[in-house]
Amino acid sequence: MRRTLVLWLLLALCSAAQERPVKITLLQLNDVYSIAPVDKGVNGGFDRVETLRQRAFKENPNSIFVMGGDTLSPSVASNLFKGAQMIEGWNAVHLDVSVLGNHEFDFGDEVLLERLKESRFVWLGSNVRDRKTGRIFGGMPTTLVREIGGVKIGFFGLLTPETMQSSRAGPDVEITDPVACARSMVAELRGQGCQVVVALTHLNLTEDLEVAAKVEGIDVICGGHEHTLLGGMAGRTPIFKWGSDARLLGRIDLTVQGGGVKHIDWMGQPINKDVPGDPVVSAMIKRYEDKLNQALGQPIGRTELDLNALQLDNRNQETNLGDFIADSYRQALSADVAFLNGGSIRSNQVLPAGTLTRRDIMTVLPFENPVVKVEIPGRVLRQAMEHGLSLVGSVSEAGQFPQVSGMVIKYDARKPPGSRIVELLVGGEPLRDDMPYTMASNTFVLAGGDGYTMLEGLKFLVTAEAGPVEPATVIRAIEAAKIIAPRVEGRILRLDGGG
């Protein structure tokens, strides 16, 4: 009788322990390209991240630090260090797990494999496979399972298939359907007894919503790819994205009880100059910053006006910086027209009026694609501009949005994609479909990047070997002008009253 009573008490205590709620905290960043503070030192910085991480883990030891992808590129520092500084930074702030982002492939497969080896955290890319072997790329694990506070939590990672067009993944890389992969990963993790399943994704929000709607059993999606603060929900699955460059630390608290998630709370914590930097991480940042400033800190000219490098603007509308960059391409190569994809304008900040340095421009244009000149039939130019405007109004930002020179485009976003342009002028005259024009642009779009497949195979008048790279073209234009003051000129006019 006494043994039976003792056994009953033990079972009762175990049952009560299982019913006691456990709070699991997910700390999240995504799309981080700088270990140093950004916005002239006001926001971000891995030394501040580490301070906040230590505070969060002290407050709740049942925490895990995750990242929603995109970090090895693009940035001025990464052009010099090929992303090695980012890995050293993530190691220093004790990141636990990250999903691959599309820009992880910007330097090619071999460089990425080196960065994977240097990482002291886990990379996931559950739908990124090697065509030759059928295995997960780079020997990454398919999933990650951690026991935190007595709760078994499982992670898997999804990368957007768009990576094959937007970056430089090799021919042996295959990115499978995110929805099908998610179904398989959830079944695998639930089969291993995971009480919580987290999807780390680098998808656009539309893709995230599709995964959430079609795949049961995902408790939360920690995403990336867009560089703005975004969230959503489909079914019972919330989606979180926290901007870019560590301006905001996402904190997602999961209350787990009775074998599953019962409640979710979340908040974004600013990472700014009010947060003291961790001294060890600050020293690491300074080491890299000293190298960069020595190489790139020279003034090249001045701007009388703020220059708009904000990502959301450059992917949705004409900007003064987009105009200036496109003008510099057209003038450098003496072309009729020029355009660049808005997604190639980076840094996601406003450059204030005042002195401009070589580093400022390389931060805005970090990819260093050659600027080339091609002959383009008018009808193909129209197709290209229709493609550039095709996603306006349907997604929050589209990297293919064109910033142009030598053209005026009037369009109606209410019309079907492919037939939105109401008027297209070149040099003040209506575009003629049968007339050949000369066009300056970067090699990325001319190779079909961002979906500009209609530009493949055009006749080159200035080749990549002969053309200047993008930042050098803009730097030379600023040096020649000494003082610039670009304004939005009405080159791209939306007629339906949208943003």
The two three-digit tokens of residue 370, written as one number: 């050659």
Query: HSE of 337 in the Cβ direction (CA atoms, 13 Å)?
Result: 27
Q: Give the DSSP H/E element, type plus range, for residue 78.
A: helix 76-81
Report the topology of domain 21-283.
Purple Acid Phosphatase; chain A, domain 2 (3.60.21)
Mean pLDDT, residues 491-498 taken together: 92
User: Maximum distance among all alpha carbons in the chain?
Assistant: 100
Confidence at 465, pLDDT banded by 50, 70, 90 = confident
Mean pLDDT, residues 10-25 taken together: 66
Per-residue confidence (pLDDT) for residue 259, from 0 to 100: 87
Question: pLDDT tens-digit profile of 163-222?
Answer: 998 788 999 999 999 999 999 999 999 999 999 999 999 999 999 999 999 999 999 999
Question: pLDDT tens-digit profile of 224-237?
Answer: 998 889 999 999 99
* Residue 441: CB atoms within 10 Å: 31
pLDDT of 244 higher than 60 = yes
Q: How far is CA 223 from the centre of its chain?
A: 10
Question: pLDDT tens-digit profile of 255-283?
Answer: 999 889 999 999 999 999 999 999 999 99
Q: How many residues does the chain have?
A: 499
| Domain pair 21-283 / 297-494, same fold | no
Which residue shows structure tokens 């059928």?
134
Per-residue confidence (pLDDT) for residue 367, from 0 to 100: 87
Mean pLDDT, residues 246-252 taken together: 98
Q: What is the dihedral of CA 469, 470, 475, 481, to 10 degrees?
A: 110
Report the topology of domain 297-494.
5'-nucleotidase;  domain 2 (3.90.780)
% residues pLDDT > 70 (the chain): 96
Q: What are phi and psi of 402, to 5 degrees?
A: -90, 140
Per-residue confidence (pLDDT) for residue 13, from 0 to 100: 44
Q: Given the DSSP bridges, would you call strands 220-222 and 196-202 parallel, antiparallel or unpaired?
A: parallel
Domain locations along the chain = 21-283, 297-494
Per-residue confidence (pLDDT) for residue 499, from 0 to 100: 60
Instruction: Check: CB of residue 217 under 8 Å from CB of residue 188.
Output: no
Q: Judging by beta carbons within 10 Å of its beta carbon (0-12, 13-18, 19+), is residue 273 exposed, middle or buried?
A: middle
- Nearest partner of 440 among 369, 364, 362, judged by Cα: 369
Mean pLDDT, residues 18-44 taken together: 92
pLDDT of 8 higher than 50 = no
The two three-digit tokens of residue 73, written as one number: 């590129």
pTM of the model: 0.77
- Nearest partner of 226 among 312, 325, 165, 344, judged by Cα: 312
Mean pLDDT score of the chain: 94
